[in-house]
Protein backbone atom coordinates (compact mmCIF):
# COMPACT_ATOMS: atom_id res chain seq x y z
CA UNK A 1 0.00 0.00 0.00
CA UNK A 2 1.52 3.37 -1.01
CA UNK A 3 2.31 5.89 1.69
CA UNK A 4 -0.59 8.19 0.80
CA UNK A 5 -3.09 5.32 1.04
CA UNK A 6 -1.68 4.20 4.38
CA UNK A 7 -1.84 7.78 5.63
CA UNK A 8 -5.49 8.05 4.59
CA UNK A 9 -6.35 4.86 6.42
CA UNK A 10 -4.44 6.03 9.48
CA UNK A 11 -6.37 9.29 9.51
CA UNK A 12 -9.66 7.46 9.12
CA UNK A 13 -8.84 5.21 12.04
CA UNK A 14 -8.01 8.08 14.34
CA UNK A 15 -10.91 10.34 13.38
CA UNK A 16 -13.77 8.66 15.28
CA UNK A 17 -12.36 9.13 18.76
CA UNK A 18 -9.33 11.35 18.58
CA UNK A 19 -9.93 13.00 21.93
CA UNK A 20 -11.52 10.08 23.76
CA UNK A 21 -10.31 8.35 26.85
CA UNK A 22 -9.12 11.22 28.96
CA UNK A 23 -9.57 9.23 32.13
CA UNK A 24 -8.59 10.44 35.57
CA UNK A 25 -4.92 9.47 35.75
CA UNK A 26 -4.88 9.19 39.51
CA UNK A 27 -7.85 6.84 39.79
CA UNK A 28 -7.87 4.74 36.62
CA UNK A 29 -6.03 1.49 36.03
CA UNK A 30 -6.51 -1.37 33.64
CA UNK A 31 -9.25 -3.77 34.59
CA UNK A 32 -8.01 -6.98 32.96
CA UNK A 33 -5.02 -8.63 34.59
CA UNK A 34 -2.61 -11.18 33.10
CA UNK A 35 -4.44 -14.19 34.58
CA UNK A 36 -7.64 -13.29 32.77
CA UNK A 37 -5.93 -13.49 29.38
CA UNK A 38 -4.97 -17.14 29.75
CA UNK A 39 -7.11 -19.17 27.35
CA UNK A 40 -5.16 -21.37 25.00
CA UNK A 41 -4.67 -19.73 21.62
CA UNK A 42 -6.15 -21.81 18.77
CA UNK A 43 -3.51 -23.72 16.82
CA UNK A 44 -4.91 -22.60 13.48
CA UNK A 45 -6.10 -19.19 12.41
CA UNK A 46 -9.28 -18.72 10.43
CA UNK A 47 -8.17 -17.19 7.10
CA UNK A 48 -11.25 -14.95 7.20
CA UNK A 49 -9.96 -13.23 10.36
CA UNK A 50 -9.01 -9.59 9.81
CA UNK A 51 -6.46 -7.58 11.80
CA UNK A 52 -5.89 -3.86 11.45
CA UNK A 53 -2.18 -3.28 12.02
CA UNK A 54 -0.13 -0.14 12.54
CA UNK A 55 3.45 -1.17 11.83
CA UNK A 56 4.55 0.54 8.60
CA UNK A 57 8.16 -0.61 8.76
CA UNK A 58 7.12 -4.23 9.22
CA UNK A 59 4.73 -3.95 6.31
CA UNK A 60 7.57 -2.67 4.14
CA UNK A 61 9.98 -5.40 5.26
CA UNK A 62 7.40 -8.11 4.58
CA UNK A 63 6.78 -6.71 1.11
CA UNK A 64 10.46 -6.36 0.29
CA UNK A 65 11.22 -9.87 1.52
CA UNK A 66 8.35 -11.45 -0.40
CA UNK A 67 6.49 -12.48 2.76
CA UNK A 68 3.59 -10.02 2.68
CA UNK A 69 1.20 -12.29 0.79
CA UNK A 70 2.02 -15.26 3.03
CA UNK A 71 0.13 -13.97 6.06
CA UNK A 72 -2.58 -16.56 6.84
CA UNK A 73 -5.24 -13.96 7.66
CA UNK A 74 -6.62 -10.73 6.22
CA UNK A 75 -4.92 -7.49 7.11
CA UNK A 76 -5.69 -3.78 6.88
CA UNK A 77 -2.55 -1.67 7.20
CA UNK A 78 -2.63 1.65 9.01
CA UNK A 79 0.13 4.21 8.65
CA UNK A 80 0.38 4.84 12.38
CA UNK A 81 2.76 3.74 15.12
CA UNK A 82 3.87 4.93 18.53
CA UNK A 83 1.96 5.63 21.69
CA UNK A 84 -0.38 8.59 21.14
CA UNK A 85 -1.71 7.58 17.73
CA UNK A 86 -2.09 3.93 18.63
CA UNK A 87 -3.72 4.48 22.00
CA UNK A 88 -6.36 6.74 20.43
CA UNK A 89 -7.03 4.13 17.73
CA UNK A 90 -7.28 1.45 20.43
CA UNK A 91 -9.85 3.54 22.26
CA UNK A 92 -11.80 3.88 19.02
CA UNK A 93 -11.72 0.07 18.59
CA UNK A 94 -10.10 0.72 15.21
CA UNK A 95 -6.72 -0.98 15.61
CA UNK A 96 -5.63 -4.48 16.65
CA UNK A 97 -1.83 -4.29 16.62
CA UNK A 98 0.64 -1.43 16.90
CA UNK A 99 4.39 -0.96 17.01
CA UNK A 100 5.46 1.02 20.08
CA UNK A 101 8.09 1.36 22.79
CA UNK A 102 7.42 0.36 26.41
CA UNK A 103 6.12 3.63 27.83
CA UNK A 104 2.76 3.84 26.04
CA UNK A 105 1.60 0.61 27.67
CA UNK A 106 2.45 1.99 31.11
CA UNK A 107 0.66 5.24 30.38
CA UNK A 108 -2.35 3.28 29.04
CA UNK A 109 -2.57 1.35 32.31
CA UNK A 110 -2.80 4.58 34.26
CA UNK A 111 -5.50 5.98 31.97
CA UNK A 112 -7.75 2.92 32.08
CA UNK A 113 -6.94 1.53 28.62
CA UNK A 114 -6.61 -2.28 28.69
CA UNK A 115 -3.66 -3.34 26.54
CA UNK A 116 -1.04 -6.07 26.30
CA UNK A 117 2.47 -6.40 24.92
CA UNK A 118 2.76 -9.49 22.71
CA UNK A 119 6.30 -9.20 21.33
CA UNK A 120 9.57 -7.71 22.50
CA UNK A 121 12.63 -6.63 20.56
CA UNK A 122 15.80 -4.97 21.79
CA UNK A 123 19.22 -4.07 20.38
CA UNK A 124 22.39 -6.04 20.79
CA UNK A 125 24.99 -3.98 22.65
CA UNK A 126 22.36 -1.32 23.43
CA UNK A 127 24.68 1.21 25.06
CA UNK A 128 26.68 1.41 21.85
CA UNK A 129 23.49 1.64 19.78
CA UNK A 130 21.21 4.06 21.67
CA UNK A 131 17.83 4.99 20.27
CA UNK A 132 18.25 8.54 21.54
CA UNK A 133 20.99 11.02 22.30
CA UNK A 134 20.55 14.18 24.33
CA UNK A 135 20.56 17.23 22.09
CA UNK A 136 22.14 20.31 23.67
CA UNK A 137 21.20 23.82 22.61
CA UNK A 138 23.86 26.36 21.59
CA UNK A 139 25.12 28.21 24.64
CA UNK A 140 23.35 25.92 27.12
CA UNK A 141 26.63 25.10 28.90
CA UNK A 142 25.80 21.42 29.33
CA UNK A 143 28.65 18.95 29.09
CA UNK A 144 27.50 16.23 31.49
CA UNK A 145 24.16 15.02 32.79
CA UNK A 146 24.72 16.79 36.10
CA UNK A 147 24.81 20.08 34.21
CA UNK A 148 21.09 19.68 33.51
CA UNK A 149 20.25 21.18 36.91
CA UNK A 150 18.20 24.33 36.40
CA UNK A 151 17.88 23.80 32.66
CA UNK A 152 14.83 23.67 30.39
CA UNK A 153 14.28 20.17 29.00
CA UNK A 154 11.80 19.09 26.33
CA UNK A 155 9.36 16.59 27.80
CA UNK A 156 6.67 14.42 26.24
CA UNK A 157 4.56 12.65 28.88
CA UNK A 158 3.38 9.17 27.97
CA UNK A 159 6.12 8.61 25.39
CA UNK A 160 9.50 6.95 25.48
CA UNK A 161 11.29 10.29 25.26
CA UNK A 162 9.51 11.59 28.34
CA UNK A 163 10.38 8.55 30.41
CA UNK A 164 13.96 8.74 29.21
CA UNK A 165 14.20 12.32 30.47
CA UNK A 166 13.12 11.18 33.95
CA UNK A 167 15.60 8.29 33.86
CA UNK A 168 18.39 10.66 32.79
CA UNK A 169 17.57 12.97 35.69
CA UNK A 170 17.60 10.05 38.11
CA UNK A 171 20.99 8.95 36.82
CA UNK A 172 22.29 12.48 37.38
CA UNK A 173 20.90 12.54 40.94
CA UNK A 174 18.24 15.06 39.98
CA UNK A 175 14.44 15.11 40.01
CA UNK A 176 11.96 16.92 37.82
CA UNK A 177 11.86 19.65 40.47
CA UNK A 178 15.52 20.40 39.78
CA UNK A 179 14.81 21.31 36.15
CA UNK A 180 12.10 22.97 34.07
CA UNK A 181 10.23 20.42 31.97
CA UNK A 182 8.77 21.98 28.83
CA UNK A 183 5.97 19.86 27.38
CA UNK A 184 6.41 19.51 23.63
CA UNK A 185 5.32 16.80 21.18
CA UNK A 186 8.26 14.66 20.12
CA UNK A 187 7.28 14.56 16.47
CA UNK A 188 9.13 15.51 13.31
CA UNK A 189 11.68 18.24 13.89
CA UNK A 190 9.92 19.82 16.88
CA UNK A 191 12.74 19.03 19.30
CA UNK A 192 15.64 20.08 17.01
CA UNK A 193 13.82 23.34 16.25
CA UNK A 194 13.13 23.97 19.94
CA UNK A 195 16.81 23.45 20.69
CA UNK A 196 17.96 25.59 17.79
CA UNK A 197 15.77 28.55 18.72
CA UNK A 198 16.57 28.37 22.43
CA UNK A 199 13.11 27.27 23.56
CA UNK A 200 14.76 24.45 25.51
CA UNK A 201 18.30 23.69 26.62
CA UNK A 202 18.19 19.93 26.14
CA UNK A 203 15.97 17.37 24.39
CA UNK A 204 16.19 13.67 23.54
CA UNK A 205 16.77 13.27 19.81
CA UNK A 206 16.21 10.08 17.86
CA UNK A 207 16.65 8.71 14.37
CA UNK A 208 18.15 10.91 11.72
CA UNK A 209 17.77 13.99 13.96
CA UNK A 210 20.81 12.80 15.92
CA UNK A 211 22.81 13.40 12.74
CA UNK A 212 20.96 16.40 11.34
CA UNK A 213 20.74 18.56 14.46
CA UNK A 214 24.47 19.14 15.02
CA UNK A 215 24.98 19.38 11.26
CA UNK A 216 22.50 22.26 11.11
CA UNK A 217 23.27 24.06 14.37
CA UNK A 218 26.78 22.86 15.19
CA UNK A 219 28.38 26.06 13.94
CA UNK A 220 26.51 27.85 16.73
CA UNK A 221 27.65 25.38 19.39
CA UNK A 222 24.93 22.74 19.21
CA UNK A 223 25.88 19.15 20.01
CA UNK A 224 24.59 15.85 21.36
CA UNK A 225 25.81 13.91 24.38
CA UNK A 226 25.36 10.26 25.33
CA UNK A 227 23.05 9.45 28.23
CA UNK A 228 24.51 5.97 28.94
CA UNK A 229 21.18 4.24 29.58
CA UNK A 230 19.34 1.42 27.84
CA UNK A 231 16.60 2.95 25.71
CA UNK A 232 16.03 0.16 23.20
CA UNK A 233 12.70 -1.58 23.97
CA UNK A 234 10.43 -2.16 21.01
CA UNK A 235 7.13 -4.02 21.22
CA UNK A 236 4.05 -5.13 19.43
CA UNK A 237 1.20 -3.65 21.42
CA UNK A 238 -2.45 -4.70 21.29
CA UNK A 239 -5.76 -3.86 22.97
CA UNK A 240 -6.69 -6.62 25.40
CA UNK A 241 -10.01 -7.12 23.63
CA UNK A 242 -8.11 -8.32 20.54
CA UNK A 243 -6.20 -11.08 22.36
CA UNK A 244 -9.38 -12.08 24.19
CA UNK A 245 -10.92 -12.92 20.80
CA UNK A 246 -9.68 -16.48 20.03
CA UNK A 247 -9.33 -16.02 16.28
CA UNK A 248 -7.73 -12.60 16.56
CA UNK A 249 -5.39 -14.03 19.19
CA UNK A 250 -4.33 -16.73 16.72
CA UNK A 251 -3.87 -14.18 13.93
CA UNK A 252 -1.80 -11.99 16.25
CA UNK A 253 0.44 -14.98 17.00
CA UNK A 254 1.03 -15.43 13.27
CA UNK A 255 1.76 -11.74 12.88
CA UNK A 256 4.27 -11.87 15.74
CA UNK A 257 6.09 -14.58 13.77
CA UNK A 258 6.01 -12.46 10.61
CA UNK A 259 7.18 -9.37 12.54
CA UNK A 260 10.20 -11.25 13.88
CA UNK A 261 11.07 -12.67 10.48
CA UNK A 262 10.74 -9.22 8.92
CA UNK A 263 13.15 -7.75 11.47
CA UNK A 264 15.57 -10.59 10.85
CA UNK A 265 15.33 -10.11 7.09
CA UNK A 266 15.96 -6.35 7.32
CA UNK A 267 19.00 -7.01 9.51
CA UNK A 268 20.45 -9.50 7.03
CA UNK A 269 19.63 -7.48 3.90
CA UNK A 270 20.70 -3.92 4.77
CA UNK A 271 21.13 -2.72 1.17
CA UNK A 272 17.64 -3.79 0.15
CA UNK A 273 16.22 -2.41 3.38
CA UNK A 274 17.86 0.98 2.96
CA UNK A 275 16.73 1.28 -0.65
CA UNK A 276 13.19 0.03 -0.11
CA UNK A 277 12.34 1.57 3.26
CA UNK A 278 14.50 4.56 4.05
CA UNK A 279 14.96 5.88 0.52
CA UNK A 280 11.83 4.85 -1.42
CA UNK A 281 9.26 4.85 1.38
CA UNK A 282 10.59 7.42 3.86
CA UNK A 283 12.20 9.77 1.35
CA UNK A 284 15.59 9.87 3.05
CA UNK A 285 18.95 9.90 1.33
CA UNK A 286 20.95 6.70 1.07
CA UNK A 287 23.53 8.26 3.39
CA UNK A 288 20.82 8.84 5.99
CA UNK A 289 19.63 5.26 5.58
CA UNK A 290 23.12 3.89 6.04
CA UNK A 291 23.56 6.04 9.14
CA UNK A 292 20.33 4.73 10.65
CA UNK A 293 21.07 1.08 9.90
CA UNK A 294 24.50 1.42 11.48
CA UNK A 295 22.98 3.17 14.50
CA UNK A 296 20.38 0.49 15.10
CA UNK A 297 22.91 -2.33 15.13
CA UNK A 298 21.41 -5.82 15.26
CA UNK A 299 18.10 -6.93 16.77
CA UNK A 300 17.86 -9.00 19.92
CA UNK A 301 14.58 -10.90 20.20
CA UNK A 302 14.48 -12.76 23.52
CA UNK A 303 12.61 -16.01 24.13
CA UNK A 304 12.40 -15.18 27.85
CA UNK A 305 10.87 -11.91 29.00
CA UNK A 306 11.96 -11.99 32.65
CA UNK A 307 14.70 -9.38 32.17
CA UNK A 308 12.47 -7.19 30.02
CA UNK A 309 9.72 -7.23 32.64
CA UNK A 310 12.22 -6.46 35.40
CA UNK A 311 13.47 -3.42 33.48
CA UNK A 312 9.87 -2.40 32.79
CA UNK A 313 9.17 -2.61 36.53
CA UNK A 314 11.99 -0.19 37.29
CA UNK A 315 10.53 2.22 34.76
CA UNK A 316 7.04 1.87 36.26
CA UNK A 317 8.39 2.57 39.73
CA UNK A 318 10.37 5.60 38.60
CA UNK A 319 7.46 7.08 36.65
CA UNK A 320 5.11 6.47 39.60
CA UNK A 321 7.49 8.26 41.94
CA UNK A 322 8.01 11.23 39.63
CA UNK A 323 4.41 11.65 38.49
CA UNK A 324 2.50 10.82 41.65
CA UNK A 325 0.75 7.82 40.14
CA UNK A 326 0.34 4.42 41.80
CA UNK A 327 2.94 1.79 40.98
CA UNK A 328 1.82 -1.63 39.80
CA UNK A 329 3.16 -5.05 38.77
CA UNK A 330 4.66 -4.58 35.30
CA UNK A 331 3.88 -8.18 34.39
CA UNK A 332 0.23 -7.19 33.97
CA UNK A 333 1.28 -5.47 30.75
CA UNK A 334 2.60 -8.63 29.07
CA UNK A 335 0.66 -11.50 27.52
CA UNK A 336 3.16 -14.29 28.14
CA UNK A 337 1.31 -16.73 25.93
CA UNK A 338 3.28 -15.05 23.14
CA UNK A 339 6.62 -15.07 24.96
CA UNK A 340 8.57 -17.58 22.81
CA UNK A 341 6.77 -16.94 19.52
CA UNK A 342 9.00 -14.26 17.97
CA UNK A 343 12.30 -15.85 18.99
CA UNK A 344 11.16 -19.26 17.76
CA UNK A 345 10.19 -17.77 14.40
CA UNK A 346 13.73 -16.46 13.90
CA UNK A 347 15.60 -19.52 15.18
CA UNK A 348 13.49 -21.78 12.97
CA UNK A 349 15.48 -20.39 10.04
CA UNK A 350 12.48 -18.78 8.43
CA UNK A 351 13.80 -15.24 8.67
CA UNK A 352 16.05 -15.26 5.63
CA UNK A 353 13.28 -14.24 3.26
CA UNK A 354 13.83 -14.20 -0.45
Q: How do residues 43-101 score in pLDDT, each as one tens digit?
A: 999 999 999 999 999 999 999 999 999 999 999 999 998 888 999 999 999 999 999 99
Q: Which helix (H) or strand (E) holds 225?
A: strand 223-225
**What is the predicted pLDDT for the residue at 157?**
87
**What is the predicted pLDDT for the residue at 82?**
85
**What is the predicted pLDDT for the residue at 37?**
66
Q: Over the stretch 317-333, which tens digit does the pLDDT of each residue have?
A: 999 999 999 999 999 99
- Sheet hosting strand 74-77, strand order edge to edge: 74-77, 50-54, 97-100, 234-239, 115-123, 299-300
CA distances in angstroms from 165 to 102, 111, 136, 217, listed in the order given: 14, 21, 13, 22
CB atoms within 10 A of CB 79: 21
Average pLDDT (91-113) is 96
Least confident of 64-68, 186-190, 341-345: 186-190
In percent, how much of the chain has pLDDT > 70?
Answer: 88
**What is the predicted pLDDT for the residue at 299?**
97
**What is the predicted pLDDT for the residue at 34?**
47
**What is the predicted pLDDT for the residue at 349?**
64
pLDDT at 17 over 90: no
Query: Which of the four pLDDT bands, split at 50, 70 and 90, describes residue 285?
Result: very high
pLDDT at 127 over 50: yes
pLDDT at 4 over 50: no
Of 226, 206, 228, 233, which Cα lies nearest the Cα of 131? 206
CB-based contact 182:153 (threshold 8 Å): yes
**What is the predicted pLDDT for the residue at 3?**
45
pLDDT at 304 over 70: yes
Question: Distance (Å, rounded) from C-alpha 31 to C-alpha 23?
Answer: 13
**What is the predicted pLDDT for the residue at 123?**
97
Average pLDDT (197-223) is 96
Amino acid sequence: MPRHERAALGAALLAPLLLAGCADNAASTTTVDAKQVSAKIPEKVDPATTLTIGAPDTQAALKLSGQLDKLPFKVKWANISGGPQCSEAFRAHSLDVCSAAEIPSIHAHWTGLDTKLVAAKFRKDPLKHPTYELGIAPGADIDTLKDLRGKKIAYSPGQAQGALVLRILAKAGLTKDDVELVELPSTGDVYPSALGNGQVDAAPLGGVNIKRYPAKYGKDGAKTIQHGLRDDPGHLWVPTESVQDPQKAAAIREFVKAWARAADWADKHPDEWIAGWYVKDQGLTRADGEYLVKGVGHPDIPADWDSAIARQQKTVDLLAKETGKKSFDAEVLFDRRYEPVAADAVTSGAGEGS
